[in-house]
Amino acid sequence: MENSLNLAAVTFDGVLALVLLVLAWQLLRSPNLFKAIVLFISFGLMLSLAWVRLKAVDIALAEAAIGAGLTGALFLTALDRLQRNNQKAGDSLISQPGKVIAGISVLALTCILGWTVWTLPPFSNQMLALVSSNMPISGVENPVTAVLLNFRGYDTLLEIGVLLLAAVGVLAVTPSAVMVADSAPSPILILLLRLLLPFIILVSGYILWIGKYAPGGAFQAGAVLAAGGILLATAAVRFNLSASKALPLATGIGLLIFLLVALATMMLRGNYLQYPVAQAGTLILVIEAAATLSIAAVLVLLFVGLKSDADCPVPGEDSKNFIFEEENTIK
Amino acid sequence: MSLTDLFGSFLLLLAIPFFWGGSLGLLRFPDIYTRLHALTKADNLGLGLVVAGSILISKEWTVGVKLILIWLAVLTASTISCYLIANAARKRKINPWKIP
Amino acid sequence: MNYYLWPALFILISVVVGLVRILRGPTAADRMMAAQLFGTGGVAILLILAQAMQMPSLVDVALIYALLAAITMVVFVRCQWRSHENTGEMEDESH
């Protein structure tokens, strides 16, 4: 019986690893950008399964939400914008000797990385023991959330700052991004909105709340909320980036709250971001809630900025729909 | 294994041919409308069987409610995206495949 | 408990078979539908893994999968419709 159990697990993991490799290879070598994007989305989904098999559920959540879903949506709109401007994919700009040098450097890097992983010291429980022994003072029960938001809260603060910078960058490039919805959007799409949006908000709140006890947290919840925002943006609501007041506020509020908490702890306790033990849980929840809003706002802003000056109209009978044309062979 | 576990596993096994059928249909059917059939109908039925089996295997009702909600969400999304694609194909005057 | 990995394995294989449709095309909608297959199959695999690995939090991952697959599909359907005169330039023939 022991052999049969291991066989199933080994085969599953083996097939998964093989699929990941094939997907990665195919997606890197495909000159058809749309095919590469679809392969990338599938790759993200399979990678999320791999994280699950490695028992890293928080990362699997983040990979599924952000890596597969949202990044795929962003790529699709970027590709669309690229094609609208009729930009060519271009031939390879690297000369032949350049390619050889690149290949050799990549090979060398792979060897170095492989050797490093191979000679890593055997699995030590030190970090695990350290985190577990400090869990009671962290205010939460999920070790990942404790590390992210309490023990290494400084890193998370900087990460949220980086997200804000990305949003500022997009705003700098497309300051007057407007995303116009249909005057008469398809009723089926409105139905989808009506059914899914409340559910998405509920799921986002649930993931945020459960981050305290089980895998979850601010980043994943923010990604789900951003998905809801993207759904709104493609279907019904007119997003005007320059005139909107709510969106910049939402974008900034995560970092703001985090900084306020940091300053407060510094003034009251003398140490930056050292939460008082009794209020640690509440503080973490407040920070995470603000961060969720912030992350969602930034991701929606990225999406709308990419889509700017382009409607998403329902095509008429005479418009050439890219997706349904048989792809041309090489001219 | 208890009786519910056994029945749940049986439902899981029953779902496998539906998924295989869906993939096979996606590969072998001649045009986009038929492929949509294969994708949405077969796969969602397979998913429904997996959900039913999982509910039987895990005995908590909270997990059961979550599972049903997942199935409903996937169902909604699949049917609506199927409609959107088919509608677009129709507008593009892609004609259904006819038996030659 | 690991017996449940067998159905998961078979569903994984069926999902991988759909990979061929992504690689071959011929139209973009076909590729996107195969990605949708990955989504639905992935949800099923995760639900089975939740029982096989005894981790109920995997059901939450499946929930997120389902929602995000829906979003990706809607974004594709609504925002990939452009009239291109030069579709040939961005594409190669499918390999």
pLDDT for B45 equals 92
What the block records as the tokens of A307 is 């889509």
**Lowest model confidence (mean pLDDT) among A308-312, B71-75, C7-11, C16-20:** A308-312
Which chains form contacts with chain A, at 3 or more CB pairs under 8 Å?
A: B, C
pLDDT for A4 equals 53
Assess B50–C contact: CB distance below 8 Å, yes or no: yes
State the smallest CA–CA distance between residue A188 and chain B in angstroms: 7
**A170 & A249 share domain:** yes
Count of domains for chain A: 2
Helix axes B43-57, B3-28, angle to 10 degrees: 160
Q: List Cβ neighbours of A326 (8 Å cut-off, separation of 6 or more).
A: C26, C27
CB contact under 8 A, A49 and C38: no
CB contact under 8 A, B69 and A188: no
**In the predicted model, is pLDDT for residue A48 greater than 90?**
yes
**Lowest model confidence (mean pLDDT) among A131-140, A200-209, B51-60:** A131-140
**DSSP per-residue string spanning A133-198:** HHGGGTS-S-HHHHIIIIITHHHHHHHHHHHHHHHHHHHHH-TT-EEPPPSS--HHHHHHHHHHHH
**In the predicted model, is pLDDT for residue A139 greater than 80?**
no
Q: What does the alpha-carbon distance between residue B5 and residue A97 come to, in Å, rounded to a whole number?
A: 62
Helix axes A218-235, A187-210, angle to 10 degrees: 170
**A180 & A289 share domain:** yes
Interface test with C, best of A28, A40, A52 (most C CBs within 10 A): A52
Examine the fold and report which residue of A84, A105, A124 is the final residue of a domain before the chain moves on: A84
pLDDT for A169 equals 87
pLDDT tens string A14-27: 999 999 999 999 98
Q: What does the alpha-carbon distance between residue A168 and residue A170 come to, in Å, rounded to a whole number?
A: 5
**In the predicted model, is pLDDT for residue A321 greater than 60?**
no
pLDDT for A330 equals 36
- C9 alpha-carbon distance from chain centroid: 16
**Lowest model confidence (mean pLDDT) among A43-47, A244-248, B15-19:** A244-248
pLDDT tens string A49-104: 999 998 889 999 999 998 888 998 888 888 877 776 665 555 556 677 888 888 89
- Mean per-residue pLDDT for A225-229? 91
- Mean per-residue pLDDT for A314-318? 38
Interface test with B, best of C36, C72, C74 (most B CBs within 10 A): C36
Examine the fold and report which residue of A62, A84, A106 is the final residue of a domain before the chain moves on: A84
State the smallest CA–CA distance between residue B97 and chain C in angstroms: 15
**A24 & A158 share domain:** no
pLDDT for B46 equals 93
**Lowest model confidence (mean pLDDT) among A11-15, A44-48, A241-245, C27-31:** A241-245
CB contact under 8 A, A68 and C68: yes
Q: What does the alpha-carbon distance between residue A65 and residue A173 come to, in Å, rounded to a whole number?
A: 26
- Mean per-residue pLDDT for A165-193? 73
pLDDT for A94 equals 64
Provide the domain limits for residue A64: 1-84
Q: Is the peptide bond prior to C26 cis by the omega test (within 30 degrees of 0)?
A: yes
Q: List Cβ neighbours of C73 (8 Å cut-off, separation of 6 or more).
A: B77, B81, B84, C32, C36
CB contact under 8 A, C53 and A322: no
| The overall pTM is greater than 0.90 | no
- Mean per-residue pLDDT for A177-188? 63
Half-sphere exposure of A15 (CA within 13 A, CB side): 18
CB contact under 8 A, A317 and B93: yes
pLDDT for B72 equals 92
- Name every chain A residue with its beta carbon within 8 A of the beta carbon of B69: 199
Interface test with B, best of C2, C14, C30 (most B CBs within 10 A): C14
pLDDT for B52 equals 93
B residues 4-33 near A, CB within 8 Å? 32
CB contact under 8 A, C28 and A60: no
**C38 within 8 A of B46, measured Cβ to Cβ:** no
pLDDT for A179 equals 61
Element (H, E) at A240: strand A239-240
What the block records as the tokens of C73 is 């599909």
Assess A315–B contact: CB distance below 8 Å, yes or no: yes
Name which of A42, A220, A231 is nearest C38 (Cβ-Cβ): A42
**A193 & A270 share domain:** yes
A329 inside domain = no
- Name every chain A residue with its beta carbon within 8 A of the beta carbon of B78: none
pLDDT for A24 equals 92
Q: Which residue has the higher pLDDT, A33 or B93?
A: A33
- Name every chain C residue with its beta carbon within 8 A of the beta carbon of A320: 83-85, 87
Examine the fold and report which residue of A48, A63, A84 is the final residue of a domain before the chain moves on: A84
Residue for token digits 């939740």?
Answer: C50
- Name every chain A residue with its beta carbon within 8 A of the beta carbon of C2: 5-6, 8-9
**In the predicted model, is pLDDT for residue A151 greater than 90?**
no
pLDDT tens string C28-85: 778 888 888 888 999 999 999 998 888 888 999 999 988 988 888 888 877 765 433 2
Please report, for residues A312, B89, B93, the alpha-carbon distance to residue A321 in angstroms, rounded to integers and kept in the order given: 12, 9, 11
pLDDT tens string B6-44: 898 899 999 999 999 989 888 888 888 888 888 889 999
A326 inside domain = no
What the block records as the tokens of A297 is 């706002």
- Mean per-residue pLDDT for C17-37? 81
A258 inside domain = yes
pLDDT tens string A194-208: 888 899 999 999 999
**A176 & A302 share domain:** yes
Sign of CA dihedral B46, B47, B48, B51: positive
Sign of CA dihedral B7, B8, B14, B16: negative
Q: How many other CB atoms are found less than 10 A from the CB of residue A134?
A: 14
pLDDT tens string A256-288: 888 888 888 888 777 777 777 777 888 888 888
Interface test with B, best of A45, A76, A192 (most B CBs within 10 A): A192
**A146 & A74 share domain:** no
Q: Specify the 3-state DSSP secondary structure of A179.
A: strand
